[in-house]
Amino acid sequence: MENSWKIRSWFLVEPSADPAGILRSGADRIVADLTGPVESWRPLGDFWRISAEAPTPLCVLLPPFSSARTEAGVELAVRAGAESVLLEGARGGADVQHLDVLLRVAESKAGRPAHDTSIVALTDAAGILAAASFQRCSRRLTGLGWHVQGAAVSDAVQLARGTVALAAAAAGVMAVDAVSDTTDEAGLRSACIAARNSGFHGKLSRLSLQIPTINKVFSDQLPVGLVISKTSDPPSA
């Protein structure tokens, strides 16, 4: 697996999306979104088969544990050979540890090496309040982010963003910024620069047209004094 700190763009797509078009997006990671009903996952098999030879690593966005669909999503992701899983609605380090256990079991069943699948935790409000709990919760944890669509810029949103960036730095993992709904290139660039300067290493997106701007901004070096150094890997759950 390439250095996760170099992942600039995470392109979230529906399982029914056209793989050929998605793979031309230029995103560093393609993320199949399994947060919808289980019925919407059915096209995922064709998606994985078509993109098996693609150079872009494929990942899965898992539904939160509150949905009661997380375990099924884990088994599907591991069978399909996903490089990483992103956990929606992560409420703290305990959720990451729970996911670590599910991945360990699924990898064993699928004949994959132990710890072959990494975790990116996307926090909800509870997770932001429990940000310190993500430190040293699992060796699989490679990233911490947040996933709030349509959130207006406010003091609360800025606080959430800053908390996630600081928590990622403390945990020694990459920080992943939330989706921006804007289709305006100048507005997106401004949002990306603000995230990068706050310590984020990459960004989620649902729009292919955003990927070139995201890649360009997060390819640039952080200003002096804002570079985050990765610490040693935390122990497994």
Residue 14 lies in a domain: yes
Residue 123 lies in a domain: yes
Residue 231 lies in a domain: no
* Residue at token pair 């966005």: 61
Residue 136 lies in a domain: yes
pLDDT for residue 3: 56
pLDDT for residue 150: 54
pLDDT for residue 231: 35
> What's the pTM?
0.89
Count of the separate structural domains present in the chain: 1
Q: What is the CATH number of the domain that holds 132?
A: 3.20.20.60
CA distance 153 to 218: 21
pLDDT for residue 123: 96
Closest CA to 131 of 102, 180, 90, 85: 90
Residue 208 lies in a domain: yes
Q: Three-class SS string for 29-93?
A: EEEEECCCCHHHHCCHHHHHHHHCCCCCCEEEEECCHHHCCHHHHHHHHHHCCCCEEEEEEECCH
Residue 180 lies in a domain: yes
How high is the mean pLDDT in each 10-residue block of the chain (237 residues)?
75 87 89 93 74 78 97 94 95 98 97 95 94 96 82 75 95 95 92 93 96 94 43 41
Residue 83 lies in a domain: yes
CA distance 97 to 64: 14
Q: Residue type at 156? A: A
pLDDT for residue 23: 82
Closest CA to 87 of 145, 11, 4: 145
Residue 110 lies in a domain: yes
Furthest-apart CA pair in the chain: how many Å?
Answer: 48
Domain containing 20 equals: 4-219
